[in-house]
């Protein structure tokens, strides 16, 4: 069954199914609104060369911390004293933009809270800090439907700009929607692209103003 029943874990990772007919559980609504009010905006890493802690204000997505980073990437030198911060444990958070494999094509997706109120946005093994799987929804796969599923950490790749290729027009539109939010905070991304946030908005919940990106161009899911 998709998604997993309450309290259970997915039987199979790296697959997705339709979620647009599902009701958003009240607890999921509460989790999202709480996160929107407490979204972290400071991400710190340990230099892969010198091991010093560095703060980089240009990191909008903690998913980038999975990649080896250096002082130079934060425009600093390994000779400088380290920043007085505790490095973030690499982890995707709601609002992280990722690529997942849809057939043989990398498709843009966003990490968010699952439709199963008992599973949160990530699944963790006992005693582990980083989830082994995350719930993601595919961006722009179908203008009249939404799809989501649990993907293993290894199956996710931080979304970056890629060369434009002729392919599915839905994919190209989805990529452009994601590109428009790459420099935005996790909170702003969720308001623009989150399936759950969109469901709440359509139900009359006031989370924030309508997300606008660029020249008054709305991004995200259609309200059709």
Name the residue with higher pLDDT: 106 or 52: 52
Whole-number mean pLDDT of the chain? 82
Which range is most confident: 37-41, 109-113, 162-166?
109-113
What is the reported pLDDT for 165?
63
Give the total residue count for the chain: 224
**CA torsion through residues 171, 39, 214, 198, sign:** positive
Domain final residue pick, 71, 92, 113: 92
Tell me: do 145 and 197 sit in the same domain.
yes
Rg, Å, the chain Cα set: 18
Give dist(CA 118, CA 124) in Å, integer. Answer: 12
Query: Tokens standing for 216?
Result: 């008054």
Name the residue with higher pLDDT: 5 or 27: 27
Give dist(CA 12, CA 97) in Å, integer. Answer: 22
Is the CB of residue 120 less than 8 Å from the CB of residue 100?
A: no
What CATH number does the domain containing 142 carry? 2.30.30
DSSP 132: S
- Which three-class secondary structure state does DSSP give residue 202? helix
- Which three-class secondary structure state does DSSP give residue 190? helix
Residue 38: pLDDT over 90: no
Structural domains counted in the chain: 2
In this structure, the number of other CB atoms found within 10 A of the CB of residue 103 comes to: 7
Hunting for tokens 């989501």 — which residue is that?
A: 148
Give dist(CA 224, CA 175) in Å, integer. Answer: 20
User: Of the ranges 11-25, 50-64, 81-95, which one carries the lowest mean pLDDT score?
Assistant: 11-25
What is the reported pLDDT for 78?
96
Give dist(CA 101, CA 93) in Å, integer. Answer: 19
What is the reported pLDDT for 221?
39
164 within some domain = yes
Is the CB of residue 151 less than 8 Å from the CB of residue 133?
A: yes
Confidence at 10, pLDDT banded by 50, 70, 90: low
Mean pLDDT of 199-215: 56
Question: Whole domain around residue 50: which residue ranges?
Answer: 42-92
Tell me: do 156 and 70 sit in the same domain.
no
Residue 3: pLDDT over 90: no
Give dist(CA 70, CA 53) in Å, integer. Answer: 10
Tell me: do 177 and 72 sit in the same domain.
no
Mean pLDDT of 65-92: 92
Give dist(CA 27, CA 30) in Å, integer. Answer: 5
Tell me: do 49 and 129 sit in the same domain.
no
């Amino acid at each position: 069954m998709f998604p997993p029943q309450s309290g259970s874990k997915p039987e199979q990772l790296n697959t997705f199914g339709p979620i647009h007919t599902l009701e958003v559980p009240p607890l999921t609504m509460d989790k999202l609104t709480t996160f929107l009010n407490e979204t972290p905006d400071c991400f710190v890493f340990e230099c892969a060369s010198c091991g010093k802690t560095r703060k980089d204000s240009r990191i909008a997505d903690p998913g980038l911390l999975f990649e080896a980073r250096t002082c130079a990437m934060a425009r600093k030198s390994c000779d400088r004293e380290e920043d007085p911060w505790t490095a973030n444990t690499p982890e995707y958070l709601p609002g992280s933009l990722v690529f997942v494999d849809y057939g043989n094509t990398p498709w843009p997706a966003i990490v968010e809270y699952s439709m199963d109120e008992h599973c949160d946005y990530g699944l963790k093994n006992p005693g582990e800090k980083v989830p082994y799987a995350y719930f993601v929804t595919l961006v722009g796969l179908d203008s009249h439907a939404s799809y989501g599923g649990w993907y293993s950490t290894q199956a996710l790749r931080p979304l970056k700009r890629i060369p434009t290729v002729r392919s599915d027009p839905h994919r190209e539109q989805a990529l452009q929607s994601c590109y428009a939010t790459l420099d935005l905070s996790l909170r702003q991304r969720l308001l623009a692209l989150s399936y759950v946030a969109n469901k709440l908005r359509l139900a009359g919940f006031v989370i924030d103003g309508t997300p606008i990106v660029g020249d008054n161009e709305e991004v995200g899911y259609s309200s059709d």
